[in-house]
A and B are shown apart, each in its own frame.
Chain A
Amino acid sequence: MTLKNPEYDFKWCPGCGDFGVRRALEFAMKSRLQEKEIPLVNNVVVAGIGCSGNLVHLLEGEQPYGFHGIHGRTLPIALGVKMGQPNLNVVVVAGDGDFLSIGMEHIAPQAARNLDICAIIMDNAVYGLTKGQSSPTTLFGATTSSTPFGKLEEKLHPLELYLSYGVSFIASGFSSKPRDLAKLITAGMDHPGFAIVHIQSPCTTYNDTYEELKGSVKKGIPAQLWDLPDTHDPSDRDAAYAAIKSSGWPLGIIYQNTDRPAFHQQVDKMISSVDSKTIDQLVAKYII
Chain B
Amino acid sequence: MEKTDLIVRFAGEGGQGVVTSAEGLAQVAAQVGYNVLTYATFPSQIMGGPTWTQTRISVDSVLSAGDKLDVLVAFNREAYDTHVGEIGIDGVIIYNSEEFELPDQINVLGMPVTQLAKSTGNPRAANMVIIGAIAHLVNMPQNYLNEFVTKRFTRGRTNDEQIISSNIEAMTLGREASAKTKIKLGTLAKADKSTAKQILVKGNEAISLGAVASGLNFYVGYPISPATTILVWMQQNLVAKEKFVYQVSSEIEAITALLGAGFAGRKAMTATAGPGLSLMSEGLGLGWMAEIPCVVVDVQRGGPATGLPTKTEQSDLLACFHPAHGDISIPVIAPGSVEECFYATVSAFNWAERYQGPVILMNEMSMAERAQNIPMPELGKLQVVNRSIYNGSNGYMRYAGDSVSPMPIPGHPGSYIANGSEHDPSGDTTHLASRHIEMTQRRFNKLKLLTNGTYESLNKEAPITIMPWGGTKGPSLEAYNLLAKQTTSLSWFYTMFLNPLPETLLTQLRKKELVIVPELNFMGQWSSILRSHGINAISITQYTGLPFKVEDLANRILDVVQSHEKRTVQT
Contacts and interface: CB of A to CB of B under 8 A. Distances in A.
Interface of A: 1, 5, 7-10, 39-42, 44, 46, 54, 56-57, 62-70, 73, 76-85, 87-88, 105-106, 108-109, 267, 270-271, 274, 276-277, 279-280, 282-283, 286-288
Contact of A79 (B257, B376, B429): B257
A76 B253 CA distance: 5
B240 A271 contact: yes
B411 A87 contact: yes
A280 B410 contact: no
Given A276-B240, A286-B205, A288-B198, A76 B417 contact: no
A96 B51 CA distance: 50
B246 A76 contact: no
B264 A279 contact: no
B199 A283 contact: yes
Given A5-B424, A70-B283, A88-B410, A283 B244 contact: no
Interface string B176-205: 000000000000000000000111110001
B82 interface: no
A39 B412 CA distance: 9
A261 to B, nearest CB: 16
Interface of B: 27, 30-31, 197-201, 205, 209, 212-213, 218, 220, 237, 239-241, 243-244, 246, 248-250, 252-254, 256-266, 268, 282-283, 285-286, 290, 373, 376-377, 379, 394, 408-421, 424, 426-432, 435
Given A65-B410, A288-B30, A76 B418 contact: no
Closest 7 pairs (CB-CB, A-B): A80-B260, A84-B264, A66-B417, A276-B240, A84-B261, A80-B257, A286-B199
The DSSP consensus for interface residues of chain B is mixed
A192 B210 CA distance: 36
Nearest to B241: A271
A68 B286 CA distance: 10
A68 B429 contact: yes
Contact of A282 (B212, B249, B409, B426): B212
B212 A109 contact: no
Contacts of A277: 237, 240
B258 A80 contact: yes
Nearest to B33: A288
Contacts of B432: 7
Given A85-B410, A287-B197, A1 B426 contact: yes
B255 to A, nearest CB: 8
Given A1-B428, A109-B253, A270-B239, A67 B258 contact: no
Given A7-B432, A8-B430, A80-B268, 6 more contacts: A1-B426, A56-B417, A69-B420, A84-B268, A109-B249, A280-B379
A5 B252 contact: no
B263 A288 contact: no
Contacts of B213: 279, 283
A80 B429 contact: no
A85 B282 contact: no
Contacts of A63: 394, 415-416
Contact of A76 (B240, B256, B262, B412): B256
Contacts of B394: 41, 62-63
A81 B417 contact: no
A40 B412 CA distance: 9
B410 A83 contact: no
B263 A67 contact: yes
A9 B415 contact: no
A6 B505 CA distance: 47
B379 A68 contact: no
B144 to A, nearest CB: 13
B260 A79 contact: yes
30 contacts: A5-B426, A7-B424, A7-B430, A8-B424, A9-B430, A9-B431, A41-B410, A54-B429, A62-B394, A63-B394, A67-B418, A69-B256, A70-B420, A73-B283, A76-B253, A78-B260, A80-B220, A80-B266, A84-B264, A85-B265, A85-B410, A85-B411, A105-B250, A267-B244, A267-B246, A279-B213, A282-B237, A283-B379, A288-B31, A288-B198
